[in-house]
Chain A
Amino acid sequence: MSQEDLTVGIAGAGGDGVVSAGELLIQVGAHEGLFGMLVKSFGPQIRGGESSVRVRLSSSPVLCQGDELDVLIAFNWADYGRFRAELMPSARTLIFVDEQDKTPPEQIPLPETFKAAVMRVPFEKLAVEKGGSALAKNIVAVGVLAGALNLPRDGFARAIEKKFGRKGEPVVAANIAALDAGVAVAAERPRATAHVSVKEGEPRMVISGNDAFAFGSLVAGCRFFAGYPITPQSEVMEWLGRELPRFGGTMMQPEDELASICMAIGASTAGVKALTASSGPGISLKLEAMGLASMAEIPLVVLNVQRVGPSTGIPTKTEQADLMQALYGTHGDAPKVVLGTTDVDDCFSIAVDAFNIAEQYQTPVLVLSDQGIGHRTDAIPPFDLGTVKVVDRRLATEAELAAVDPHHGFKRYAMTESGVSPMSVPGQARGNYLMSGLEHDELGWPISGLAGHQTMSEKRARKLEAVPREYAHLTLVAGDPKADIAVLAWGAAKGAVLEAMDQLAAAGVRVRAVIPRLLMPFPIEQIERELEGKKVLHVVELSFSGQFYTYLRSMLRPELAARLVRHSRAGASPLGVAEVRGFIEPSAQPIAAD
């Protein structure tokens, strides 16, 4: 692993400013040109409970949240104890605790061997003395981190100036004094072995997965959103609620999930690109209407920010167990497109792809994100707006509409070679027709016989056949193409898989990673070509029952399917790098250079 990479954990009580400290760290890191990832975790209280953050900073792109910490700061042991599983130290971790913590040594939630090295720091005392208030203890902690990790102190000072500027000069000065007090503490202590080099002049953007998806949707031309608040989706509607009206669009929060998707369907019917979003429980409610969009061939994007299920599950934790619902949840043969975003950066581009596909193929597109991606904040290179390509639906031309027999109306579902028919929107003269959830003929008129149903079923399926070809960039491949071992993963599992692959490569083990982001229609030819000649096909996912494994078994040809090895577990905690290495290593034999 690169030394240019470090991970910090901070835990404390409500009011300790844990989250602000984490945000300051990633923002300053980003400002200094570092890549980063910030993962927040909260207790079950609605407000004011314990919280923790994990911040990873690196001079190269951060793939996942990493495993062991380089630095741990605990404002007290009791609160840290609640996040122990998320913030595991190792023997080389620098561990700091507030000296006011009176936990007896035997109750400290650390392995015995680590306890002797814990450094007691007067965070709160210094905050009061230098910063004028106990509230500044998170700033003292940031100072300690800046010192211990060799991060530029001036960057933090500027960020503090910006953050507290509105509160007046004395507040800024006090907080900078608190920062310097922390830096001074660190100067007397050991430094972390890991460090990162900053590169001036390459600022990163700091954005969450949910904000990135909302932003991507806006750029793709989305001007209507309807949704119902649900964790972990709500940030998408909060962001769009703020921005859509500025762009002449609308965000609505109707009475339920059913109304949300139906309003989006209505808006799209009227010619406006529309999005609805939810998490598992809400998606279950939306499925019937998704079938309507499939049947009536209405462009629509639906986002599922997955959380732990079934039922209410664990709303604030991640899982990849809504895959089968996404693929097959709707009754009837209801073709649709399913995409899986793999990280924060992806959320932006996949939102654009989702709208483009929806418009081009007049189909519902369901995008699977998850809590881990949606809620985490990454420091990444700014999105390249110049390369965004926006596709709009194929509207019937005036000439086409002039030729319409006014007695019967416009053939909205006209048979075409591609299966995609010209569409009209209300307001277009002579374009009126009957759109329907009933099986219908070319005019939209209800039919009930086999021949028509067979023909229309073929039309709806046929139009999506081109998607894997036209959107081939949605399949990600990485690693050594000549490797005997392949790892198949989708969604957020990508991060740990790629990092494990890099580590294995460094140890002489060749691995190929294949990560489809287009999950339906499944790019079978492309995937099978990638898997050709591989001896073992590891399938890695956060689903207790192994839904992706089951899907692959059903899609791949038998001799490839027989080589699939399932590595699946329940969610609630993201896949770790060491965990993924542990899946792959037993099948690996280091290969001599060829």
Chain B
Amino acid sequence: MPEPHDPAEGAIAGTGAGGAMDLAASEATTLAPGEPGGPGGTGAGAPARSLWSDAWRDLRRNPVFIVSGLIILFLVLISLWPSAIASGDPLDCDLANAQKGSSPGHPFGFDGQGCDVYTRTVYGARASVTVGVCATLGVALLGSVLGGLAGFFGGAWDAILSRITDVFFAIPVVLGGLVLLSVVTSNTVWPVIGFMVLLGWPQISRIARGSVITAKQNDYVQAARALGASNSRMLLRHIAPNAVAPVIVVATIALGTYIALEATLSYLGVGLKPPTVSWGIDISAASQYIRNAPHMLLWPAGALAITVLAFIMLGDAVRDALDPKLR
């Protein structure tokens, strides 16, 4: 019998190296299955389908889920078709209007360059949502593959992968962003996303590893192994469906923090670059004018906060639905 899930590693699953992006992981520790001595894994004998359909039934009735889901749907729609609700051009700016308050046709007023704040706030959704979604997908994919492999194969694989995870975890996130992104000249969203994936994956990797180890010990997995199922079949058919829940929860919460992180990077001068329009760029520009023209800060920051809030609440709701202990 291999050494059971190492409690120390379980503890580290909640560690963060810096920045807000790791924090979500800690909350998930309460849900990380297989806490030593605690009640066994998520649903020892229950088939995978019932966990998901139970969760879905729960979610459909949860007002928090409905509200946050609608907000997110709205955000996705305006990131795809911003011109549907904003007729102006976010790059059409006239210095003569700089810092003016709201006026007919320009409900949110103008920023320091004389750009229409409403148009820029609407168009800013695209970059922020793209960064959040792509970074989360990348982190989730890379993290669960590496973490899953480490947990499934154990032994030397685990030792090596876990140490590599620690290495990336030990680099403070904001610091890494400053160093890596300060050399970037591309004005697309990809370098920022790449950086988030590079320093964000260990968070998911640890959680995936922990839940794969737990799932591996379930009776039906042992049975499949005894029946001679191949490694890939066991991983994909039996283990992955049971181990993926904690990853989804943490990833949803992390999505919000990535969007906030983009703003922080912009504040430090290494975030997205023009002509990309993003909330982060506008918030950091407006933070200079906080005394004279607070409206410049209010709208993009408000939009950002609502978006982050929506994703965190969605993650909360999903966790509640997926965690049988709270039912």
| A and B are partners in one complex rather than unrelated chains | no
Interface residues of A (CB under 8 A from B): none
Interface residues of B (CB under 8 A from A): none
